[in-house]
A and B are shown apart, each in its own frame.
Chain A
Amino acid sequence: MGETPSLTCRLCGAEYRAVVLEPGERALCVRCDTVLAQGSRLGPDTALVFSLTGLILALPASLLTFVSAGKLGAERLSSLFTGVASLWGGGMRSLAVLVLLCGGLIPLALLATLAAVHAQARLGWPKADLRPLVRFAHALGHWAIPEVQVLAVLVALMKLGSVVDVRLGPGFWCYCAMALSLLIAERSFDFDSSAPAGGSGAATKP
């Protein structure tokens, strides 16, 4: 591997030399207490496995019935993108694009990026190639918010409970599982690409 891999604290910029962590171990920045990396309890391939799971779940989540609503005999089935389509049709296009990006496309892109980063690390490809992808993943991370969409659906159901007869469909549960997979994949994601392959880096000042 040549030179020792290094790690930079994403918040305060302090530099560290990377070490392999045991499962359950966490490396904190000495200066600002930020978690630099953590050894996954589920094994080194956690992030890869869960990002692939999330990608697979995205398909039924977007195709199957998300929620069905009935009112006075009229039944309405909605999919993940029904709201986006209604907003677009109603002339609120910027809002439609925002919802489509944050709740659908960006989580998908993040899952794909995480899978690509970890698959490459697993195959032992040169580490230098991963840096732009890791930066891309961090940038996407701010906008991938499927868990907020899940909360919004639950809030809407409580709100509608008395007015409309609402039932959750399989698409919604697949979407929840996808959101959870993304959360786990992101959490077990190495905070720095230069950490040793399959493991997790960090600790000790140079």
Chain B
Amino acid sequence: MSRPVARLGLRSNSTAAALALAAAAMLVPANLLPVLSTESSGSDRSDTIFSGCVELWKQGLWAIALVVFTASILIPVLKIAGLCLLLLGARRGDPGQSRRLTRVYAALDFIGRWSMLDVFLAAFLTGLVQFGEFSTVTPRSGIVAFAAAVVLTVLATQAFDPRVLWAADTESQP
């Protein structure tokens, strides 16, 4: 179905595919490397995104743990899965799926911003918790990889042109 797309002068989706792939690759270091280290009265710990969530859960802050888990782990994965679905759907060009896939795109567009939560969290904690040897928070390299992954997913969603989902439909119009 690439011909009608080209004839309509739409953007190619290869950019979106490349960006989504890069985002998926960035999620690996983002989840494996520590994002924050906390030093509090002698005890020192480094947390990855996941271990940070587990720690919140253990402290009894399960609602907060769920919010962080959704924003930092679930949404990035959902976004990449959703983008794959859209790219495959656009390739297949089944007009029956156009409406559903457009809804998927709108949903991805909406949820994407919330995955920036962890980046803001790291920035805020770093700025606030600076009490010398009593309590200090330092950002670690994982957060940079995570921020890069989030930025790449947002760019990928923007690079995807939802009009390709309607290419067959637009073709048939006069």
Contacts and interface: CB of A to CB of B under 8 A. Distances in A.
Contacts of A11: 102, 105-106, 162-163
Contacts of B166: 12-14, 31-32
B98 A32 contact: yes
Contacts of A76: 128, 130-131
A90 B124 contact: no
Interface in A41-90: 67, 69, 71-72, 74, 76, 78, 82-87, 90
A84 B127 contact: yes
B113 A159 contact: no
B120 A149 contact: yes
Contacts of A78: 127-128
Interface stretch (B15-23, B24-32, B76-84, B133-141): B133-141
26 contacts: A11-B102, A11-B163, A31-B98, A72-B134, A78-B128, A83-B120, A84-B127, A85-B127, A86-B126, A86-B130, A90-B126, A92-B143, A92-B144, A95-B119, A95-B123, A96-B123, A98-B119, A98-B147, A99-B120, A142-B112, A151-B117, A155-B117, A159-B125, A160-B125, A160-B129, A163-B40
Contacts of A151: 67, 114, 117, 120
Nearest to B161: A13
Contacts of B61: 158-159
Interface size class of A (residues with CB under 8 A): 35 or more
A148 B113 contact: yes
A96 B122 CA distance: 10
A112 interface: no
Contacts of A98: 119, 147, 151
A33 B138 contact: no
A14 to B, nearest CB: 8
Interface of B: 40, 56, 59, 61, 64, 67-68, 98-99, 102-103, 105-106, 109, 112-114, 116-132, 134-135, 138-139, 143-144, 147, 151, 154, 157-158, 162-163, 165-166, 169-170
A1 interface: no
B165 A12 contact: yes
Contacts of B59: 162
Contacts of A103: 120
B113 A145 contact: yes
Interface string A140-182: 0011010011011101101110111010000000000000000
A204 interface: no
A164 B114 contact: no
Given A78-B127, A83-B127, A12 B98 contact: yes
Given A90-B138, A159-B61, A163-B40, A12 B126 contact: no
A102 interface: yes
Given A33-B102, A86-B127, A96-B123, 7 more contacts: A31-B166, A84-B123, A94-B144, A102-B116, A142-B158, A155-B67, A164-B135
A187 B143 CA distance: 31
Contacts of A158: 61, 64
| Highest count of chain B CB atoms <10 Å: which of A78, A85, A145 | A145
A4 interface: no
Contacts of B157: 142
